[in-house]
Amino acid sequence: MTGALLLMIGALVLSRKLSDMVSGTAIMSDHTVDVVIDAGHGGSDPGKVGINEVKEKDLNLAIAARVEALLEKRNISCKMTRTGDEGVSGDGEQSKIADMKARVQMINDLKPKLAVSIHQNSYPQEEVKGAQVFYFKHSKGGEAAALLMQTALKTLDESNHREAKANDTYYLLKKTEPPTIIVECGFLTNPEEAEKLAGEEYQNQVAEAIVSGIEVCLGKEEKKN
């Protein structure tokens, strides 16, 4: 009896190991990196300009760079679409469409488990504020990631009742194959939020929240290896 039981357990362990190996190989070949971080705008495209004159492109890059550093510490592999104040298409004559296409191409080539595009929002009414996540309406993976990320961002402000929102027109969301979300960290038209976003302390807090959202999306807690 005991021998048969041991054999059964042995077979079970072996089959588990095999399936781990197979799925491990599949993951290796499918994804070259865990995450792509896209700092929106850059170069001749400033994005939104805040009530305090701060440019969206600069905030996006500052937060993206912090996210990258934190991911590295947690052993989550990451690629940035840009690391300096420039458009992504790289040619001198920067056009918005070439820039967007280059970002999409990069994400589709790298095949990350998740792509996170970092932006700042604006609205005609000053009082509107709060971080919000967008996903492509027809992407189940994007939707799931957006819901998890929105929850993670709530730690920045418990009074933020914004919910992850579906979208079917944003070029980046429509054209990327891996699950992609846009994180609008805050409103540059809200004086208080614009001021906070311009400061390093809050940029760090936003980056921490985004990284904890990414960890949940990647199921880091379950892996434990």
Residue type for position 191: P
Would you give the DSSP letter of residue 112?
-
193-222: contacts with Zn ion (CB under 5 A): none
Antiparallel, parallel or unpaired: β 114-121 and 180-187: parallel
Measured from the CB atom, is 66 or 119 closer to Zn ion?
Answer: 119
Establish if 179 lies at the interface with Zn ion (CB under 5 A). no
Measured from the CB atom, is 40 or 186 closer to Zn ion?
Answer: 40
Residue of minimal CB distance from Zn ion? 119
**Token reading at 163:** 């919910």
Establish if 50 lies at the interface with Zn ion (CB under 5 A). no
Exposure string for 75-112, b = 16+ CB within 10 A, e = fewer = ebebbbbbeeebbbbeeeebeeeebbbbbbebbbebeb
CA 175, CA 117: separation in Å to the nearest integer?
13
**Token reading at 193:** 């939020």
Measured from the CB atom, is 47 or 178 closer to Zn ion?
Answer: 47
Measured from the CB atom, is 119 or 196 closer to Zn ion?
Answer: 119
CA 115, CA 177: separation in Å to the nearest integer?
10
Count residues near Zn ion (CB under 5 A). Answer: 3
User: Whats the size of the chain, residue-wise?
Assistant: 225
Establish if 186 lies at the interface with Zn ion (CB under 5 A). no
Taking contact as CB under 5 A, which single stretch among the options 6-14, 39-47, 69-77, 94-102 is the one that binds Zn ion? 39-47
Establish if 40 lies at the interface with Zn ion (CB under 5 A). yes
Measured from the CB atom, is 47 or 50 closer to Zn ion?
Answer: 47
Taking contact as CB under 5 A, which single stretch among the options 11-19, 40-48, 135-143, 217-225 is the one that binds Zn ion? 40-48
CA 115, CA 37: separation in Å to the nearest integer?
6
Asked if residue 83 lies in contact with residue 67, where contact means CB atoms within 8 angstroms, the answer is: no
111-150: contacts with Zn ion (CB under 5 A): 119
**Terminus-to-terminus CA distance in the chain, angstroms?**
33
Establish if 47 lies at the interface with Zn ion (CB under 5 A). yes
Taking contact as CB under 5 A, which single stretch among the options 36-44, 140-148, 157-165, 172-180 is the one that binds Zn ion? 36-44
CA 95, CA 93: separation in Å to the nearest integer?
6
Measured from the CB atom, is 113 or 119 closer to Zn ion?
Answer: 119
Say how many C-beta atoms besides its own lie within 10 A of residue 125's C-beta: 9
CB of 219 to Zn ion, least distance (A): 29
Interacting residue ranges for Zn ion, rule: CB under 5 A: 40, 47, 119
